[in-house]
Amino acid sequence: MRNLPASSAAKLLAPEGPLKEPVNAKSGMTHAASREFIRNHFEEFVTRKNVEIGNVNFAPNFVDHGVDVPLGTPPGPARSNTSPEC
C-alpha cells in the first residue's frame, strides 16, 4: 500500500484489518490462487512437458472443448495428457 495515496489505502482497510480477497464460489479459489494455479499448470505442462499434470489438474469428467477435438471423444483428462505442441 506504499504506492497508494493515504485515502486509497484507508479504503482497503476494514476496521478489523485488511479486507480479505474474495473467493470465487465456483472454483473455491481467490484470484491470486487461480493465477498461481494457471501459472503452475503452464509451467509443468508446456515448459517442463510434464503431461501427467493433467491427471492432477483436470477432473475425471473434464470435457475438452477445443476445435481440434474429434467428435465422440469421451470426457476425462486422457486426451489432454498428450504432449503440448508449442
- Residue 65 has which C-alpha cell? 472443448
5 within some domain: no
pLDDT number for residue 17 = 62
20 within some domain: no
CA–CA separation, 52 and 17 (whole Å)? 41
> Which residue carries 512437458 as its cell?
49
pLDDT number for residue 23 = 93
pLDDT of 67 higher than 50: yes
Q: Does residue 62 contact residue 76 with C-beta atoms inside 8 Å?
A: yes
Q: What's the number of domains the chain is made of?
A: 1
- This model's pTM is above 0.85: no
Give the residue-averaged pLDDT of 2-30: 69
38 within some domain: yes
Angle 50-56-60 from CA coordinates, rounded to 5°:
125
SS3 13: strand
Please choose, from the candidates 11, 30, 12, the residue with its C-alpha nearest in 3D space to the C-alpha of residue 21. 30
**Residues spanned by the domain of 40:** 32-86
